[in-house]
Amino acid sequence: MLTLSETTHALIEEDLSTKCTIRSTSKHDISILTDDKVNKPGDDSQDFISYINIGSSLGPLTHTNSFNDITNEIDCPTKVISTELSTLSTLLQTKGILLTKVTRSKHKLYLFKLNQNNSKILWRSDTKSICLDAIKDIRVGKMASNYMEEYHVPFTNRWITILYIMNKKLKIFHAIAKTDDQFQLFYQCICNVVKLRKELMESMSLPDHAKFATIHWNNMVSEKKEDQLKDTLTFEQVKRLCDRFHIYCSVTHLRRIFDKADINHNQLLNFREFQEFVKLLKTRREITTIWNEIAKGDNSISIYQFGKFIYTIQGETQLDSLKIKHIFDNYSENNEMNEDLFTRFLNEQPYLIEIVNSMDYSKPLNHYFIASSHNTYLLGKQYAEKPSVEGYVQVLQQGCRCVEIDIWDGETGPVVCHGILTASIPLLNVVKIIKKYAFIVSPYPLIISLEIHCNKENQKVTSQIMKDTLGTLIYNDSDKNGMKNLPSPSDLKHRILIKVKKPKAIPVTSTAFKNITDGHSKIYSSSSIYEYTSFSFSSSNDSEFESTTDSLSRDKHSDDTSTLKLIPNVTTNSMTRMKRIGLKKRAEITNSIFEISNIHGLKFRNFSLPESKTLTHCFSLNEKKFESLFKDSNQKLSMDKHNRRFLMRIYPHTLRYNSTNFNPIKFWKAGVQMVATNWQTNDIGQQINLAMFQLAYQKSNLTHSGYVLKPESLLQTVSKIKDIPKIYKSIGSRLPKSYNINLKVISGQLLPRIKKDQKNGNNFGPYIAVEFLTDDLPNILSNPLSVVKNGTASSLTSSYSIVKEGNGFNPVWDMELNIQLKQLDFTFIRFVVKTNEIPLATSCVKLDYLKRGYRHIPLYNMSSERYIFSTIFIYSRIDPIR
């Protein structure tokens, strides 16, 4: 039995019953003590939020969507927050709370506390900790039920799972509280401290300088009104405050602002001078310039001036007068908008056009690009990495609509792994987690690509697991024989499609497979193909020509142990798995698996064979095979023709063992629907991939439906390949000859900073690099990139700005550039903020998704996680040239 000391339990019960209001909500089974009151600039009321000690490591924070949902549940008055949160924080700091920490090997009771500055969760006599800023997600209730099942724990609402990063690795923490009240104490305190840190950072990014100054004056000096006239704050105290909030400015820059605010020049600031310091620090000179052009010297603008700005500068010509009035009313007082309110308006406007609301999801499935993952179960390299269900959680939360499962024989049933060089996880766990997260972001169909390497018995078990777990979610295509086209994403909402190789495929020709051994060629039928299960680098090898050929380059009679000696990092455990699995015949798909499938993988041989005309088939090619075919003009056109009617999947080549990614643009331009990338690697290829499927949605700012309708030039079906050039020519004749793009990269806000530069503030000099990314540059580029001011062109399509020494809080680069392109369909812009050649943050945007005019674009860390407040401020305009 779990017990608390009588003293601790009584204290918690007393405080919870007398000071805390605990409610239940349907979405997360608990309430969050937060505030959704929106205060306008200039409101000096001090009930915004009361300060508690929030730690020395505040800064740009990154969290997953579900955690942001938790911290944004808002329904409590602000004055209640400070009292309750202070109570909860004090309890966890001084008394702590006993929780049972759950691992696979044991359940053990520990005392958990918050450290004194509320930045870490501590346990095991303070030797173990979780940094609050490292928390990626918190899951409770039904959202954590899969973990309870995995650890064989009966469902309980007192379970809490925390996902966090340590040493660049994703870690998972599980614990159970004894009582509901203890659960509430721990959970509400953690969520609300993070919420408070977020609100305080937001107060720095928005123009509420008076409130920010009030909060910190009351904390550092006094809440008494009579003390506001005292000259109290030193430069060192102000600098420590800036360091706490990751306001990255050099000492010289801060000293200059401090001296300007120090009106009586005594090196101490009173309350009014401190307010002036904060105001000077937060001044957006670049927005003041825009404001002056609109206001013409006045202190406010009218709805007419605002509407003119919206139409002519922001390019929002689709908005009618009523919508403009609604926007104006939200950012004005007494029918007037001042500069602070205008700044808030610019901060909060979406930067992507709202495609989701207008996109047509009623066309056949093959008319869409589909967000697809390669070897989804891996979180790192393609070998010597442990598989994890978290791979599925992460990609599904980002809107991925095609995941991959490699199924092998385990000791007790089918398992998911990458051959013998990785550990395995039970297939049942993977299928359960897929079911749980399948439609958490997108309602549109999820495709599960099964790679079958297991025997017939385990295939039967696999089929039963799919049926029992997914049930009616599996699409029943009983009418497929009468279909002339594939169903649409709208038809398939909340349905799962299973892709698997078709059994007993058309026999292989005598020249299809060769095994080169000792200089002699040997011909094998498909039934005599053997593979080492140790090498499963290439996915979809059951449906692709080249990967099968590669597997045959190893002699089927070679000694398995000697082969393993050539593979780095093979451990004793790997040898054990090899001994368990051994050499095996290539798995032949049974009817038990085929009967639950809807998409049928076929080995590519030729686009003209009857098998390539079946409605439900899908060719899977690795990138090298695709490029080989693409070099032949007839094959290129045949592929284009095929993909207008049928499905194709492209995946990374075997040699990408570090899980790097290709540029997906060339595959999309060929009409390939499922371009599978390694989502665990946030390189340029994956950034482009995420940008393709990053669509705006009015309700949630960003969403990821996982489906993007192909451009018009790739939709029309043809009977002969000679008709394809005519389609491109006809559509091209209606479009402008080219587009002139004017881009201004104006400034950055709340930039992150690398740790090794933190001790030397003067050595921090951020600049920004901009690159236009596309494919087939000679046929796309009309005029190369030219820099108008404050930057240098580094290539035909890229440039970098001037360096702003010592200022990472609000550097103004004011770089302007022009470039002229013939097409926009597959053009992306990538921004990378750097210092000393080291990337700090990045953002990649599809050019025709980007709203025109002045926009704040969010920045992401190098692992693709969004910084909550770090942004860049840009201006863009596109002028067609006919």
* Pairing verdict, β 414-416 and 425-426: antiparallel
CA dist., res. 693 & res. 398, Å (int): 9
Degrees, nearest 5: CA angle 545-548-550 = 110
CA dist., res. 862 & res. 681, Å (int): 9
Residue written as token pair 């860390």? 861
* Pairing verdict, β 798-801 and 766-773: antiparallel
Active-site residue, selected from the candidate residues 174, 418, 617, 856: 418
Helix/strand/coil percentages in the chain, nearest 5: 35, 25, 40
Degrees, nearest 5: CA angle 446-450-454 = 155
Give Cβ neighbours of residue 247 (< 8 Å, ≥ 6 apart).
204, 281, 750, 808, 809
CA dist., res. 523 & res. 515, Å (int): 7
Map 249-288 to HEC letters: ECHHHHHHHHHHHCCCCCCCECHHHHHHHHHHHHCCHHHH
Q: What is the largest CA-CA distance in the chain?
A: 96
DSSP label at residue 728: H
CA dist., res. 148 & res. 159, Å (int): 8
Q: Name the phi and psi angles at 869, rounded to 5.
A: -120, -10
CA dist., res. 724 & res. 467, Å (int): 42
DSSP label at residue 603: -
Active-site residue, selected from the candidate residues 9, 374, 453, 600: 374
**CA nearest 422: which of 360, 379, 474?**
379
Give Cβ neighbours of residue 356 (< 8 Å, ≥ 6 apart).
695, 696, 697, 703, 705
* Pairing verdict, β 584-585 and 530-531: antiparallel
Two tokens at 451?
A: 């790679």
Residue written as token pair 């690159």? 771
Residue 543 CA, distance from chain mean position: 30
Q: Between 235-244 and 209-220, two packed helices, what is the crossing angle to 10 degrees?
A: 110
Residue 840 contacts residue 834 (beta carbons within 8 Å): yes
Residue 160 contacts residue 174 (beta carbons within 8 Å): yes
DSSP label at residue 379: S
Give SS3 for 181: helix
Containing 800, the helix (H) or strand (E) segment is strand 798-801
Q: Between 456-470 and 427-437, two packed helices, what is the crossing angle to 10 degrees?
A: 30
Instruction: Answer yes or no: 152 catalytic.
Output: no
Cβ count near 859 (within 10 Å): 24
Residue 715 contacts residue 730 (beta carbons within 8 Å): no
Where helices occur in 331-372 by DSSP H, the ranges are 339-348, 355-358
Instruction: Answer yes or no: 557 catalytic.
Output: no
Two tokens at 402?
A: 């095609």
Give SS3 for 579: helix
- Cα dihedral value 862, 865, 868, 872, nearest 10: 40
DSSP string for 195-243: HHHHHHHHHHHSS-HHHHHHHHHHHHT-S-GGGGGS--B-HHHHHHHHH
CA dist., res. 809 & res. 410, Å (int): 53
- Cα dihedral value 218, 219, 222, 225, nearest 10: 10
Active site residues: 374, 418
